[in-house]
Amino acid sequence: MAKVKTQFVCTECGADSSKWQGQCGECKAWNTLKEFRESKTPAGRPNFNQDERFQGYAGAKSNIQTLSEVSLDEQSRIVTGFGEFDRVLGGGLVNGSAVLIGGHPGAGKSTLLLQTLCHLAKQLPVLYVTGEESAQQIALRAQRLNLPRDDIKILSETNVENITETAKSIGPKILVIDSIQVMHAPGVESAPGSVSQVRESAAWLTRFAKQTGTILILVGHVTKDGSLAGPKVLEHMIDASVMLESSGDSRFRTLRAIKNRFGAVNELGVFAMLDVGLKEVKNPSSIFLNRSDEASSGSIVTVVWEGTRPMLIEFQALVDGTSMGHPRRVAVGLDANRLNMMLAILNRHGGVFTGDQDVFINVVGGVRVNETAADLASILSILSSLKDRPLPNDWVVFGELGLNGEVRPVPNGQERIVEAAKHGFNRAIVPIGNKPKKAIENIEVIGVKTLDEALQLLR
């Protein structure tokens, strides 16, 4: 038997260490070092190269070139036909790329991929490798969802060597591995799902994909705390990592890119899980905005920019006298530091003291907002709750706040206002710099320069 070298690998950052330690020397995370057995046999480093175009990629020999000499043809994309999926990928699957789809068990990863592949199989050779469900279960699901079943190839297998052998013989354009946690690689002795198995299996498969120009889609499960189990160590091997998550209402799923070498990472795709599988939600504003007709204090609608499109979401704040010595600050769907900053600005430039109040703020629908354009909405919803004064239901608010109490313009102001008008909002409070020169139909736009001007609207 080949000599086996034992190493320890951090599940957080992937750093190697020759001995076990309580804390990772690189990223300083605690209790993250896991044993890793690396085989010394060269079998762990196979060469799948069959095609000259992919020489030099992922391990084979290559010649030096200038950038302009490099052929760009291979960058063309395959459109999956699932508009929301394509949007998150940055316009479709790039030839020869490796994509990781993460999510909790039951999020719908297998369903999404099965639906996508059944349709793509009509144009291209595809191979769906299932290690979790049997081929029969997949077939039954495809039948129930009424998907075309004639062209898609299914393989029930967990050994990556067998998978690449089979793939070599049928030459699929797209190879799906469901999931990477159940795969095992030759020469690695630890259990499937462990760091070493995940790392070696993924390395084996990405190597195959890169050297043959196959699109590789890996499915990965996430742990309870939301991080990808094991695959943290493979994030550098893949080109794009997307997460499928259920948001607030359990019927809806959001797909978001965390890393994408071929597109923007802030795109959000929205799906609904129905009894006929996943359906795209083309107009997400309508699902995140489900308000009662009556205006209530603390509730304010804002327009955030998600990748390439605007989305309307609701903020809810509750401000209540604190019963304990230390006031509580709770932000759900929003950065807690940003909330503290808003409260400081409100105190200093708006003259509203909240030091004796508990402040809770929530973004409705389980959406996460990272945009500073939501500042004005969060500060106004806090004031609205504090003063118990509702903002009329047909008003929408957006704008960034500066530390001097100035309201700063945000990108894509015009599109945000148009989106609000489309959803029946009649008045928009926006930074003066975002006020359009030409009036927009059905909506009155109020431009504000300072926080004080905005607060006047609630006084």
The annotated binding site is made up of 103-110
Q: How far apart are CA 20 and CA 293, in angstroms?
A: 60
Question: Tokens in use for 77?
Answer: 């994309």
Q: Which stretch binds Mg ion (CB under 5 A): 83-91, 108-116, 237-245, 314-322?
A: 108-116
Annotated binding site for ATP: 103-110
Residue 268: name the closest of 223, 314, 304 by CA.
Answer: 304
Quote the least distance from Cβ 26 to ligand TYD, whole Å: 31
| Residue 107 in contact with ligand TYD, rule: CB under 6 A | yes
Q: How far apart are CA 101 and CA 266, in angstroms?
A: 16
| Residue 220 in contact with ligand TYD, rule: CB under 6 A | no
- Binders of ligand TYD: how many residues, by CB under 6 A? 14
From the list 80, 111, 130, 214, which residue makes contact with ligand TYD (rule: CB under 6 A)?
A: 111
From the list 42, 106, 148, 392, which residue makes contact with ligand TYD (rule: CB under 6 A)?
A: 106
Q: How many C-alpha atoms does 112 have within 13 Å on its Cβ side? A: 32
Question: Tokens in use for 240?
Answer: 């794009």
User: 118, 150 in Cβ contact below 8 A?
Assistant: no
Q: What is the DSSP string of 96-149?
A: T-EEEEEE-TTSSHHHHHHHHHHHHTTTS-EEEEESSS-HHHHHHHHHHTT---
| Residue 115 in contact with ligand TYD, rule: CB under 6 A | no
Share in percent of the chain as helix, strand, coil (round to 5):
30, 30, 40
| Residue 110 in contact with Mg ion, rule: CB under 5 A | yes
Q: Which stretch binds Mg ion (CB under 5 A): 46-54, 103-111, 231-239, 413-421?
A: 103-111
Quote the least distance from Cβ 113 to ligand TYD, whole Å: 8
| Pick 242 or 303: Cβ nearer Mg ion | 242
| Residue 226 in contact with ligand TYD, rule: CB under 6 A | no
Quote the least distance from Cβ 77 to ligand TYD, whole Å: 24
Q: What is the DSSP string of 358-382?
A: EEEEEETTS-----GGGHHHHHHHH
Sheet architecture: strand order including 252-260? 153-156, 126-130, 174-178, 215-221, 98-103, 240-246, 252-260, 268-274, 277-280
Each residue 15-54 as x (binds ligand TYD by CB under 6 A) or -, in order, gives ----------------------------------------
| Pick 103 or 131: Cβ nearer ligand TYD | 103
Quote the least distance from Cβ 110 to ligand TYD, whole Å: 3
Instruction: Point out which residues bind Mg ion (CB under 5 A).
Output: 110
Instruction: Point out which residues bind ligand TYD (CB under 6 A).
Output: 103, 105-111, 141, 145, 273, 275-277
